[in-house]
A and B are shown apart, each in its own frame.
Chain A
């Protein structure tokens, strides 16, 4: 059974008449490793933000984690982790790594509720899992881009998400950090949590069957399962054809 079901969806940014995503249908099941590829402006990030309801779906049916995204986007976001692309935290940002990771739990907690012992434990687990214990008490703005990326991944892992969306998660990471993150993601997949990654870099994908989605101009042009080694080639050929 699919945990993400999108059927003929159209999405548009607030105040925009022209849809970014058009007539898109996609099903993602538990434990799938999904890679979304395609040229710039294909609608890849918009697709991620349609799945968690950050971008308005104007037409079609979207069901994620058992919730209708169009009606209960807020409930969907409580269960879906989303590592955003292009964040910048200035050196004066007054929050430590530990506090930022803890914020990942706030959505689950709800308004006016204080974090409990289990929330602190989940945040600590996420920090340990990503291997950033030494950064826990440092303010996030003083960290390097790669370290900030790791903190944002821990922020989302602390949420204990049912689905994990990642937008260019490897962009700031060195080779060893990439491998380390891939191992964490693979563990999540083995545990049944589907991973949906938007990326331009396909080297180092885990050696498992990949659900590959290629997009162009807001539409899916290829939706197949393939070995990890074939991903780059398929994406390149699909992009060249268009």
Chain B
């Protein structure tokens, strides 16, 4: 897609992949962070990691396995919390530990069996060895995320404001919530190859947190968060290639640095502190 602008195919693929991952994750991140669902993002990213490990262990398509496992975990969160009479956060903690343990167990076992699996691409991503189909899939999930937000904008705003109040006002919040979980699972699983299971959380949470330092309304957060993620990711890809640095961790560090800067410069923080 960006070939006319970027001659080098590898760099071009990396920029495209980072751009689509940034758009999907940061838009979802605005909803996740406002609903205090950061632990969902955290658990889903590790579910995708565990799913990919299962796929590799069973010698099937790792990405499909990652998607299936993340969607499965997303579907389990509500029922487990209800049955076990636990807070959702505690359920997520248990599921996170299960996913992490499962992934590490399978990776270690495959190494023991001599299957020669390198876990580093699953853990930290490998943005320079992506197939064109993977980039198309990322483009599709970014588009799906944008369509989801545009279609359900009023419902998303209401559940971001307060889930219980939205439910009490007669909205079908569960429908929107489950679609949201499904898209998070899909996005996280597809982004696994780019930024890895350990770092994807940064894309889900940090751009939205940066936007929240300056934006007073949700509409501008949905625009600023992907823009920030896009710019920082593109710069990170360029710097990674220019100075031969690992791209995904570099972008994660740059996003975190930008967040620190945003907190220091936040106009909103000053205004809200003054009015209180």
Contact = CB atoms under 8 A, between A and B. Distances in A.
Interface of A: 14-16, 52, 54, 74-79, 82, 84, 87, 89, 91-96, 99-100, 103-104, 106-109, 111-112, 114-115, 139, 141-142, 152, 155-156, 159
B151 interface: yes
A87 B164 CA distance: 10
Nearest to A140: B161
B157 A99 contact: yes
By size class, the interface of chain B is 35 or more
Interface centre among A75, A79, A82, A115 (most CB of B within 10 A): A82
A15 B154 CA distance: 31
Given A54-B168, A109-B154, A159-B169, A96 B217 contact: yes
B272 interface: yes
A123 to B, nearest CB: 12
Contacts of A106: 154-155, 158, 166, 169-171
Contacts of B165: 84, 87, 103, 152, 155
Nearest to A78: B170
A15 B213 CA distance: 39
A92 B170 contact: no
B84 to A, nearest CB: 7
Interface string B259-276: 000000000100011011
B212 to A, nearest CB: 6
A79 B170 CA distance: 8
A64 to B, nearest CB: 12
Contacts of B168: 52, 54, 77, 82, 84
Contacts of B221: 94
- Majority secondary structure of chain B interface residues (helix, strand, loop or mixed): helix
B115 interface: no
25 contacts: A54-B164, A54-B167, A74-B170, A75-B170, A78-B169, A82-B169, A92-B272, A94-B34, A94-B216, A95-B217, A100-B161, A104-B169, A106-B155, A106-B158, A106-B166, A106-B169, A107-B169, A109-B154, A111-B171, A139-B216, A141-B272, A142-B275, A152-B165, A159-B169, A159-B170
A103 B173 CA distance: 13
A112 B179 CA distance: 14
A107 B170 contact: yes
- Of listed B82, B157, B218, residue having the most chain A CB within 10 A: B157
B61 interface: no
Interface string B152-191: 1011011001101111111110011000000000000000
A95 B276 contact: no
Given A87-B165, A99-B217, 14 more contacts: A15-B83, A82-B169, A84-B165, A91-B275, A95-B217, A106-B155, A106-B166, A106-B170, A106-B171, A107-B170, A111-B171, A112-B151, A155-B165, A155-B169
A174 B275 CA distance: 20
Give 4 nearest A-B pairs by CB, closest first: A107-B170, A78-B170, A77-B170, A91-B272
